[in-house]
Structure 1
Amino acid sequence: MRNKGRVLVVDNNPKVLASVGDFLKANGYSVSTADSPQQALKLTQEEIVHLAIIDIRLTDDYDETDVSGLDLAATLDPAIPKIILTAYEDINLIIRSLSPDRRGTALAVDFVLKRLGPYKLLEAVEKAFRSKVRLNTRMEITWEKGLSWRVLVEELKAYRGGDESEKRKAEEELEDLVVRLLDRATALKMLRVISGRGGCGVVIARPSFGRVMGEDMVIKFGPRKTVMAEFANYKRWVEPFAAVRSTQLRGEPVRTPHLGAIKYSFVGERPGRLVHFNDYYLRDNVPVESIAETLRYLFKECCGLWYKSKRKPGDRERIPLDVWYRKQLPFQEKHVKELRDVVEGLVNGEQPLARHFRRQGPDRLEVTLDGETVSLPDPVHFALVAKSSFPVPSLVAITHGDLNGTNILVDGEGKAWLIDFFKTGWGPVLRDLAEMESVVKFELLQTDDLLARYALEKASLWPRSLKHPIQVEYPSRLAGLGRAATVIQQLRALACDVAETDDPREYYTSFLFYALKEMAGFKPRVGAERHFSVGQYHAFLSAAMVCETLERWGSR
């Protein structure tokens, strides 16, 4: 990025457009021009604009009532600062342009009279770039091997499979976001990408300030609307609970026409390199006791202040758990057909594991494993179609809402740090813990043996108390099964503390919907491709077994 920034000049006089445009270009700016509000609006929706210079009278220079330029300023993206440029000196228009509204935002950051000449305008432009745009064009960006702007773009779901021109434009927007997000750094090294589940991307980066190296930070980038929602969520649900040692949002979000970005830093002692929980769990040199302690720290310390908000649900919150999860995951009516198609594909597909499953009527499945055949409910029908009776949550609390392994970072001491607060807010108190169990079972269990996974399910779903030990009986010794059972037992012990009961019904119900989510949208995020089908079948089997357990308990 060689120029000083991108300026849009809007004026209905072509001579003014040419003279102002040429002057700003001569002073190092990239300039676009528009001769109408419609053209200006279209341009800002498609291209990066750092600053807009707008004439007041865009329709009729001789009409004293024409304030179409002010109307345009009010319509344009509020993230773009505006300078009003006019030949007409009217104190009322100056006041209207510069006075903040109820939200504290003014239409313009400056008001310049044309008669004062081009250097007065240049002074206003440079001031706006310093105070509002804060474009760090001198920052040197370097990359660890294998990283690039294109790699970051490929993290964004919206651009996977997109055409080349769209991806190049997204690269340009990402670079613009980063140089505005870190307006004081002299250098930035992109260290590694943390692949997530949603439509956004996360990169760990290390800024430098002259000869001083800064601490690693997280840059979250993605669709503009999603990033702005996460920013608002952080301000509402996370910032009031930020502890001495926590992930903290720094500064304001930055936006381009299509993308947005925010940055998080890690406040407090943070030894060692950060890795996401999935990698930490799978390391051979990390004992299961350390994983259990990390989870204890996560739910007691990181999420503990949120969970202290727990209370009985209010009148509007006294709705069954299936309704909660339909909204929060979400599972709307349009997804039911997709889920039914997934089930049919699993039962009638060509994968070898399909032989274990047969359709047994419209709402039942026949499953044959380890020499035994059982009849289980179709989980999609049971959870989303039939009028099954699900409990109302006994407690609600502020929860993270998307607590999967890629949204948890672990430092060298095994302490957890949270990122991604897009779904944070009020919800059933057990939803974070239930989601973590789904991650352990369907993403982190590294075995292709569906029978071994079935053994884990039988051991973990028969107890009628969350405090009951999980003892897996399986002929061959699989370290992964014991590890998973120990971690799940820790999650359930923590669930007892949070929910203030050892009754597993609400926990199992919450887990059911996360199993359906994994079944529907499963992708192999860790390990080799061969784990794809077994993880998806495991989620399918687990969901059906949970339904059978809830159905059996409900009949007693």
Structure 2
Amino acid sequence: MLPAILITQCLQNDFVKPLGRYDPLPNNLHVGFEEARRLLGENPAEGPVALTMQWAYQQPASELAIIHIRDWHDPADPFQAEHLRQFGPHCLMETEGAQFAFAESDSARPLAVINSTGLNDFVGTPLDEALTPFAGQPLRVGLMGVWTEAKITFLAYDLRTRYPHFHLAVCSALTASSSRAHHFMALGQLSRLLGVTVFPSIGEFTQFLAGSSVEIPLPAPSHAHWPEINLSEGGPLEETDYNLIRHLFRDCRQVQLRVLDGGFSGNVVLGSESVDLHGHRQAAHVVKIGPQGPIGQERTAFEQVESVLGNNAPRIAAFADSGGRGALKYRYAGMGSGFSTTFQKLYCAGLSAERTANYLTIIFKEQLGRFYAAAALERCNLLDYYAFSPKWAANVRQRIETLLGEPAVEATLRLPTGHDMPNLCHFYEQELEAILPLAGGSSYFSYVHGDLNGANIIIDGRDNVWLIDFFHTHYGHALKDLIKLENDLLYIFTPINSAEELAEACQLTHCLLRVADLGRPLPEVESTPLTHPELRRAYQTVGMLRAFYPELVQEDRNPLQLLIGQLRYAVHTLSFDESNRWQKLWALYTAAWAGFSLSQRLRQQGPLRIDWLDDQYTGPGRLGLTLLPGRQDYGRSVAEDVAALKAQGVSHVVCLITDDELVTYGVETLLDSYRQAGLTTRRLPIPDQRVCSPAEMAELNEWLQTNLAAGANILVHCVGGLGRSGLVAGCYLKTKGLDAAAAIAEVRRVRSPRAIETAAQEGFIEGYICPPPTPPKGGRA
């Protein structure tokens, strides 16, 4: 039985011939400069397609059949006229444009060439005849070529429906389209809808076809003794890594390398300075080498976001696989001469606060800010997103007991400093399963780097800032990069080498865990008990990172999302090679208290909670605040929440949300539900983050006072129960004799430090003039 078939699709000059950056497209179907270069490489004779085809031609025909499908058009054929009219003249038979874009085999190896004249390669061609003998057989079938969203997808659909036993696969590096976005969208559709396996690396694709580990020989450098490779620091390179570097710099006579990062997950990151065969100094590059699969995934992830980052991102100048290892050669458009270093090395060497702030602004505003600008509120469970699961309990226990040097049995554990902390093992073993369903809600999502740390922020000789390592880039929690870098800043960058330093670090933990509003800056370091210079510096740098939060979280200022991220990465730190024992103990202390706080907060989010103002201001009635009952993005139920209000004695409701918000949060039936439940309802729609008019507030306050005097229990709500609800409560308290500052403080004490969210709302309360009291009317409205 034939094990595998390789089918190429439209790998012809009119589709993929290399072009200059500003050359006009030869026709309407050419994929363009960028995609042609990605597919064929800077030197097409040694690029991805050429190397793959050279390997394929060397395989026995009994092991790998090769079928080339090509567009082949006769302009004189009336049946092809409409196709050529729609797409323009292309691949006209016997023309250069119709020729293959790779070197054809000069051997007598059998292969099939299918001339296709339309979008369906089975219509009017012998393709079905060529494949029919293999019907019902579980062959491995690999596809490569263009266009991913059209010809490749159409072919995969036909193969899946006609030959359901075939195992289909493509490689992202060996397929292309005129739009990078459409290319990756199509790959996703191929995987989800047609069950096509998508390989990120060529090595994995050829291994799939061969059914075993295979090796595509790398082209030898043009000179036997060049390039001369020198490594300025670190141990000698493994032979496979050395050969990959020789291949990537095969046009050079000399390469000087410096280790920027390495040793973790089998990866090594190198900065390079090179001299070409003619003695010219080349632009600086960064080379990353690691396991073949993850390196291929990093290349795929980076290609999806490359156009968004623009000149702030590197370019993949070349990539290669060999011996189970993969390598990426990143070129940076403006990287200065001289060796590059990393943000982590600079920070640990005493980087000034001014330069630190400058680098962070470049990273999170100018570079990753391009991702964050498109952030959208998404329904999600952040515990699921950050991969929390009770299945990790045994692993967490093992690391904690190893770190402490004793069994973690009691409910409270103790650090060598004498500081007590909740037993984090119990959180994973007993608590996590119960609170997982309670973490549903909404948070802002955007594309994120995904694994931002100080070692993959590169600073070049001209002080330019560059990012590398896009393996984890994805659409995710918008704060993820900031939370991850903060974690590394604390437990890797900040030196902790004694019990005394750890004791003060624990104080820093509580300063950060006390944050209640992500929209507000951290208090000044002078207001903290911190005295150790490095801990004060760490606190101030965290403040720089937190300063980027307000724009990202917008109105979603609940610190719960930060707490989940802090816990996730603090626990991860327990496995870090870079952190010493003192730093890991600090991370454990933070994780333990973060887990305790997280559990408490989530358990409070069960039945709808009302925060009531003190009776001294409202009696004989009561005035309370809460979030929007039944909001669907939090997984709540209108019926259950209205029932909870009734159970807590609510008789009147003030609804401050707009009609649009009733729809946005899925509570279109809320007002009817209030009435059906017998709740007297008053509406004052105020746009989010805004205020109403003084006259409207005065009228509402008169209504509140009248009904409270009659013993009503009144609920005020907006969406989060913080901004607009706090505005109403603050103005009401001013009618009871409190000044603006005291009224605002009282609302925040009762409801949340985040209540009364905007300067406009604070200013309205400060300027609100209470109207003279009106005589009681003696009854409810």
TM bracket, shorter-chain basis: 0.5 to 0.7
Going from structure 1 to structure 2, the CA distance change for 1:382 and 1:243 (only over 3 Å counts) comes to farther
Q: Deviations over 1:133-155 (max 9, x none)?
A: 6532423223144456x3x44xx
What is residue 344 of structure 1 aligned with on the other side?
A: 401
String of CA shifts for 1:359-391, please: whole Å, max 9, x gaps: 43xxx3344686664546545347754434335
The residue that corresponds to 1:321 in the other structure is: 382
> What residue is the counterpart of 2:517 in the other structure?
465
1:71 is aligned to 65
C-alpha spacing 1:197/1:101, structure 2 compared with 1 (3 Å): closer
1:493 aligns with 2:547: yes
Which amino acid letter does the alignment assign opposite residue 187 of structure 1? Answer: Q
> What is residue 407 of structure 1 aligned with on the other side?
456
Matched, 1:423 2:462: no
Equivalences for residues 254-293 of structure 1 within 5 A: 254-268=320-334, 270=336, 273-284=339-350, 286-293=351-358
Give CA deviations for 1:443-482 in whole Å, capped at 9, x if unaligned: 0111222102101101111121232316477878311011
Between 1 and 2, higher relative CO (CA 8 Å, sep ≥ 6) is seen in: 1
Matches within 5 A, 1:306-317: 306-313=371-378
Change (3 A) 1:147 1:552: closer
Q: 1:133 to 1:288 in 2, by over 3 A?
A: same
Between the two proteins, the alignment pairs up a number of residues equal to 419
2-structure distance, mates of 1:302, 1:281: 20
Tell me the C-alpha RMSD between the 2 structures: 3.7
Which consecutive unaligned segments of at least 5 residues does structure 1 have?
Answer: 1-47, 59-66, 75-79, 107-131, 154-170, 525-530
2:296 is matched with which residue? 228
- Helix, strand or coil: the match of 1:417? strand
Check the 8 A contact 2:67/2:111 in 1, yes or no.
no
Aligned residue number for residue 301 of structure 1: 366
Distance 2:558 2:569 in 1: 19
Map of 1:218 onto structure 2 = 286
* Distance in 2 of aligned mates of 1:218 and 1:87: 41
Partner of 1:514: 569
Deviations 1:87-113 (A, max 9, x none): 8899889x999xx9662499xxxxxxx
Residue 135 of structure 1 corresponds to which residue in structure 2? 220
Higher-Rg structure is 2
Q: Aligned equivalents of 2:304 and 2:346: distance in 1? A: 30
Closer, same or farther: CA 419–455 of 1 in aligned 2, 3 Å: same
| 1:213 aligned counterpart, secondary structure | coil
Q: In 2, Cα distance between the equivalents of 1:50 and 1:201?
A: 29
Could you tell me which runs of 5 or more consecutive residues in structure 2 were left unpaired when the two chains were aligned: 1-50, 69-101, 116-125, 131-141, 147-151, 153-169, 171-216, 610-781
Per-residue CA deviation, residues 164-220 of structure 1 (Å, 9 max, x unaligned), is xxxxxxx1x223322222342232222334226433211111121222111221111
Q: Secondary structure at the match of 2:220?
A: coil
TM-score by length of 1: 0.67
Q: CA deviation at 1:70?
A: 4.4
- Verify: 1:454 aligned to 2:480, yes or no: no
Corresponding residue number in structure 1 for 2:273: 206
Q: In structure 1, what residue type is equivalent to 2:62?
A: S
Distance of aligned partners of 1:272 and 1:493 in 2 relative to their CA distance in 1, 3 Å threshold: farther
Partners of 2:342 and 2:430 in 1: how far apart? 34
Q: TM-score, normalised by structure 2?
A: 0.48
Identity %: 21
1:32-87 CA deviation, whole Å, 9 max, x = no partner? xxxxxxxxxxxxxxxx999548579x6xxxxxxxx52643899xxxxx99846228
Return the alpha-carbon distance in structure 1 between the equivalents of residues 440 and 113 of structure 2.
64
Tell me what 2:138 maps to.
none
More moved, 192-201 vs 391-400 = 192-201
- SS state at 2:332 partner: strand
Judged with a 3 Å threshold, the aligned counterparts in structure 2 of structure 1 residues 214 and 400 are, in CA distance, closer, same or farther, namely same
Q: Do the aligned partners of residues 369 and 101 (structure 1) sit closer, same or farther apart at CA in structure 2, a change above 3 Å counting? A: closer
- Go from structure 1 to structure 2 and tell me whether the alpha carbon gap of 1:54 and 1:371 turns closer, same or farther (over 3 Å shift): closer
What is the CA distance between 1:497 and its match in structure 2? 1.9
SS at match of 1:186: strand
SS of the equivalent of 2:375 reads coil
Note if contact 1:408-1:416 (Cα within 8 Å) is conserved in structure 2: yes
Q: Which residue of 2 aligns with 1:505?
A: 560
